[in-house]
Amino acid sequence: MIPAVSIVDVVKTFGSLRALDGLSLDIQQGEFFGLLGPNGAGKTTLISALAGLARLDSGCIRVLGHDVVRDFRQARRLLGVVPQELVFDPFFSVRETLRIQSGYFGIRRNDDWIDEILHHLDLTSKADANMRRLSGGMKRRVLVAQALVHKPPVIVLDEPTAGVDVELRQGLWQFVRRLNGEGHTIILTTHYLEEAEALCNRIALMKQGQLLALDSTVNLMAAHPGASLEEVFLRTMQR
């Protein structure tokens, strides 16, 4: 089976900083994959390169076999990305935002799916509200909704629960778990390690643009008996 995401020997530098330093890994279809590391590990740079927002110095990334540079149109169609920053377009309502995002992906008359996403993210009552009037948590939910409008088989969540209340977190994870159960591949970066431990089947630990560990969550935990994922993380980072 073709990997959902294939990352081959990627290098990305910003001046003298090697943000990605020859990193390679495959993420299989249907996985709930955790990409963990301290600030500056290169997680967001890797996601940016995957999404076509950053250009690699060398190496390549493929989404379901499609190169993100040479075959960018097909690769981007297969990918839904929730960015880390809380960004929004202040001119539009929630529904307009989602309709416009659907159109960018070539989808017209997407209201049935938009309504379903709004329902699952508890945004139905805010559908006609302007984006400026939403709280931070609600704006975060709209970002998740925007990433899902085109039903991408691969969904990337870059710290989606940063600054989000407990109730929304639970609702969001329930929805994302359902999507994963339906076959969507989920790639998650988070600083909440208990979330990663509970959700992810496999985890990659990154530091300074390199891969320090890559294994199933069960194996990572088994290698450090009695330790929490947070302790495993800290021990790995101190190597």
- Cβ atoms of residues 96 and 67 within 8 Å: no
Using CB under 8 A, pick the residue from 15, 16, 39, 108 that binds other proteins.
108
Quick check: 65 binds other proteins (CB under 8 A)? no
Quick check: 34 binds other proteins (CB under 8 A)? no
Using CB under 8 A, pick the residue from 8, 18, 59, 72 that binds other proteins.
72
Compute and round to an integer the Cα radius of gyration of the chain: 18
Nearest approach in angstroms of CB 44 to other proteins is: 11
Counting Cβ atoms within 10 Å, is residue 36 exposed (0-12), middle (13-18) or buried (19+)?
buried
Measured from the CB atom, the residue of 109 and 239 that comes closer to other proteins is 109
Quick check: 40 binds other proteins (CB under 8 A)? no
Quick check: 74 binds other proteins (CB under 8 A)? yes
What strands lie across the sheet with 79-82, from one edge to the other? 79-82, 154-158, 185-189, 32-36, 202-207, 210-216
Tell me how far apart the alpha carbons of residues 197 and 202 are, in angstroms, rounded to a whole number: 9
Q: According to CB under 8 A, which residues from 129 to 158 bind other proteins?
A: 146
The pair of structure tokens assigned to 137 is: 């948590």
Counting Cβ atoms within 10 Å, is residue 87 exposed (0-12), middle (13-18) or buried (19+)?
exposed
Quick check: 111 binds other proteins (CB under 8 A)? no
Nearest approach in angstroms of CB 20 to other proteins is: 12
Sign for the pseudo-dihedral over CA of 180, 126, 124, 88: negative
Quick check: 162 binds other proteins (CB under 8 A)? no
Quick check: 44 binds other proteins (CB under 8 A)? no
Interacting residues toward other proteins by CB under 8 A: 14, 48, 51-55, 72-77, 79, 81, 83, 85, 87-92, 96, 100-108, 146
